[in-house]
Every structure is written in structure tokens, then in C-alpha cells.
Amino acid sequence: MNESIAYIHRELILYIVITIFYLSPSLAISFLTHLHRNSAKEKEKEKEKEKGAMSLGYAQKLSYKEDVGTVGMPEIFDSPSALESKIEELAVMILRSKHLVAFTGAGISTSSGIPDFRGPKGVWTLQQAGKGIPDASLPFHRAMPSLTHMALVELERAGVLKFVISQNVDSLHLRSGIPREKLSELHGNSFMEVCSSCGKEYLRDFEIETIGLKETRRRCADNSCLSKLTDTVLDWEDALPAKEMELAQNHCSAADLVLCLGTSLQITPACNFPFRCLKNGGRVVIVNLQSTPKDKKASLVIHGLVDKVMEAVMRILNYRIPPFIRIDFVHVSLSHSPRKKTCVKWVLRIKSIHGPKATMPFLKSVEVAFPDRPDMKCALLQEQPFVLKRQTTQRKSFKILLTLNLTEGCGSSFSQIEWPVDFQVKKKSLSLDRDKVLNELKDLAERESCCGQEVLLERNVESRSEFTVHAIVTNIVRYCKIEEVPENDDLTTSINGGALTSKRSCDDGDNSEKSGKRCK
């Protein structure tokens, strides 16, 4: 029906243009120019609408709930002197902690471009005021971890942070580098699917279409299972996942310090978990810009920007905040079949590693060139999955150069893959150490301080086809520059008899220091 209406609309416009052109050619040109401008504006509006919808899809998908708790409370900022004193106190508590647990909320992701829910410009605050959902600064799938995310990663790598409990669904803890086994996502993950049968999890580079533990369009990749996948994000009436809840409760009970970051502590039952540590003499610290219902139970409440607080704590403890390096993946295949004795018909495909029904939101288009064969026509592929079909001489080898044009939000405009083709020679399958290759790629990106680098991860060769998986650096975010922090004599002498040194430096391109060391 919609296609028929569109056809009639096009025919009507064509009739109008022809009629105007017959009466006045200049008027017809003006009319066409006006149509073109309006079309461009409409496309731009749709693009912005899509951008905001992607970023705040979770909030839009939630079922309506009239009572979402207290929203729009004023922000509170501690005075500079009080803030400094509290930060030093927090640093001492972390230094002495044997089992530190972080409990995080939406406030740690606002600097990543994701609005919170209860702040002055939060999603529910504006909705309650009848202003609708706020604009997001970037697509959800391109959001990068904040300084706080990466500070927690460094503390976990150093063995200080034992576990992270998050109420967020933005996947930024996983993307930042927190191991899955050390993370409890109480409300789910907008980028995670799980098999309803075997329980295998699939982390995607695109936002899952549904929430509420519903079935998605995809199935488990395990050939012995193949059951339907479901989303993992809870709706209002969904119960917390038992496994995630049990891990969270156990770690909070074992903790001697629970650090609550950017959370209003209003959503039950999650808001009660941090205080399980009190039974065994543990302490709770709350870092939030607004007061919470649990402030009186905390040993320390800090009203300040969570990134600023964590940056200062890491400086005092002499820890480096590592850069975030994002890597995305593409699947490339080339299949062929002989047409004649001298010719071969081949098909090139560039698609998502997540299957034929998945998109690659980081990829805009693909240019296909043949550098050593000027007789072969280049191509521009603009629809996913990207497919190119050709017929060439079987005996003559050539090279394919793929230019992957990346979308807005990526740190580079493109990346390139070279693919030598010789139908007379069969390549060998290749399986590399994935973690080693990816770490080397990250090191290279950090040394060069740029994005777009590409590396081959895997190659599978069959009789008439070849499949490869490539890793591409699409973003680098640095959180600190080279600096030296003056030693705080009062703090140094107050901790373990002067055992803490409050100096550190963050590398700015020099990759020799892999991880900050804790000074004893």
C-alpha cells in the first residue's frame, strides 16, 4: 500500500514538473531546487531523529510507569576544600580495602553522552515535566566509556577492585574491559542476547531491538543448540536475573568497602545491596550530585562530578587511567565458480560477524578497487550486507582493495583491507591467538595515536570459498596527559606512616608503561 502511494506521489510530481516546464522552464528549475532542498532537510531530520532514538531506545521501550520515584532533585556541589578532604579520605579507604566493590548508576555515563534518568535534565525528569525525551549527543552504539569506567578497569587490573555491580544497560563496563565474570548487570545489557536454552551470551555491536526478555530474530550459533535468543534488558515488572543478583549480594556481603558511583539509590531491590556489607563491619561511600535516601547509612558522601572525583583518587593512589581503544569487526568472504575454462564468476561479501540478519552500525559504505588491474571497474557498495558480483579471467591474479567508510562517531573516516586473489592457488586456513593479536593491535593504535588500523584475525578456506574476519580500530579516547602531581605531605604521612606517594604520570603516546603501579 505504501509503495503504491509513493508511486502515485512520484508520478504526480513528474506531471507537475512537466507542466511547469512547458509553461516556464526557469520556474520548473526553481521548483525542482525547492524540492531538493526540502528532501535534504527531511533526510537530515530523519537522521537526527534516528540518532536520538538509538541513543535513548531503552527509555522509549520501557513500559509506562507513573511512579518512577523522586526526580529533578537539585544538584549539590561540595566546596573545593571539602571536596579535596573527602577525596583524600576516599583514597585512604580504597588503599586499605581488601575487598572493594563498585556499585554504579547512570551518573557515570552522562559524560559519555548518555542522559541519566533523575537529574535536572534526566529522561524521567523531562518526561514528568511534559518535555519528552532529551536529545542524545551521539548514537548509543558509539558511546565511549567515561573516565570513571576506565579508572575502574585500572583498579580491577591492579587487583584492588574485586567486583562491579551495575544498574546500567549501556554495556560500557564490558566494552571498557571489566571481565564478564567480575561484573553483575542487574538490569541487563542493551547489546547482549542470551540463548534461552544453553545460556550462551552474545555481545553485539548494535543495540538489541527489544527489551523485556523477549525473543529476538536470531538463534544460538551452537549447531547442537540453535535455540532462539532473547534480549537481556528488564522491563519494570521483570524480576532481577537470579545469577546476577546472587553474585551481587555475595560480593556486597563480603566487601569491606562498597563505592556507589552516580546512582540515586532509589530502585529496589538493587539499592539495598551495597549496605549488606555493614553487617560485617564494611563501609559504604556514595559519590553523587544529588542526595539519596541512603545517605545517612554511608560512611562518606561526596557531592561532586564522579569523573573529577575518580581522576583525583587515581592521581593520589598513583594509578594511570588507561586509554580506551575500541575495536570493531567485519566478516569478508569470496566465493567463486568456474563459468568456462578461462573465466570464473565470483561474489564478494562484507557483512557482520553476528550473522546475516545483523547490521554493522559503524560502517557506512564500501569502495572496491583493483589497484593492479585498471581494466577492472571499481564499485561503491552502499547497502548492507555489501555484495559485489563479477566475472574475470581465471588465470590472471589480481588484488582487491576494500575501503571501509566508517560512520559518524568513529575516530577515523575509513579503514582499508587488501585481499590478493589468485584462483589458481589455494590459500591455507589460518587461526591466530585472538587475544594476542588484539592486544598488539591496541598497542599499535596507542603508539600511533590514531584509528583505522586493521588486522586479520581468522581465515577459513574451503574448496570454492574463503572467509576472513578482520579487526579494525575505530576509536581511541585518552583521559589524561603527562603531568606530575605535587606531593601532599599531610596525606603521605597520614597513611601507613608515609607509605603512600602522591605522584604519578600518565603517558601521552609512550606505550612503555602498560599499567600504573601501586606504591607501597
- Give the residue numbers of the binding site for Zn(2+): 195, 198, 220, 225
Query: Within 13 A of 386's CA, how many CA atoms are on the CB side?
Result: 25
- For residue 325, give every residue at least 6 positions away whose Cβ sits within 8 Å of its Cβ, in sequence order, or none: 442, 445, 446, 473, 475, 476
Residues 194, 232 contacting (CB under 8 angstroms): yes
* Active-site residue flag, 470: no
Report which of 109, 70, 379, 377 is spatially closest to residue 261, judged by C-alpha positions: 109
Cβ burial of 252 (10 Å; 0-12, 13-18, 19+) is buried
DSSP 474: E
Residues 260, 234 contacting (CB under 8 angstroms): no
Residues 230, 215 contacting (CB under 8 angstroms): yes
CA angle 437, 438, 439 (to 5 degrees): 95
Annotated binding-site ranges: 195, 198, 220, 225
- For residue 172, give every residue at least 6 positions away whose Cβ sits within 8 Å of its Cβ, in sequence order, or none: 109, 112, 143, 144, 145, 146, 149
Report which of 365, 377, 471 is spatially closest to residue 417, judged by C-alpha positions: 471
Distances from the Cα of 408 to the Cα of 104, 114, 198, 413, angstroms: 28, 16, 37, 8
Q: Which of 187, 303, 336, 470 is catalytic?
A: 187
Cell of residue 395, nine digits: 588465470
Report which of 145, 87, 89 is spatially closest to residue 113, judged by C-alpha positions: 145
Cβ burial of 186 (10 Å; 0-12, 13-18, 19+) is buried
DSSP H helices in 230-386: 242-254, 306-316
510: left (phi over 0), alpha (psi -120 to 50) or beta: beta
Q: Active-site residue numbers?
A: 187
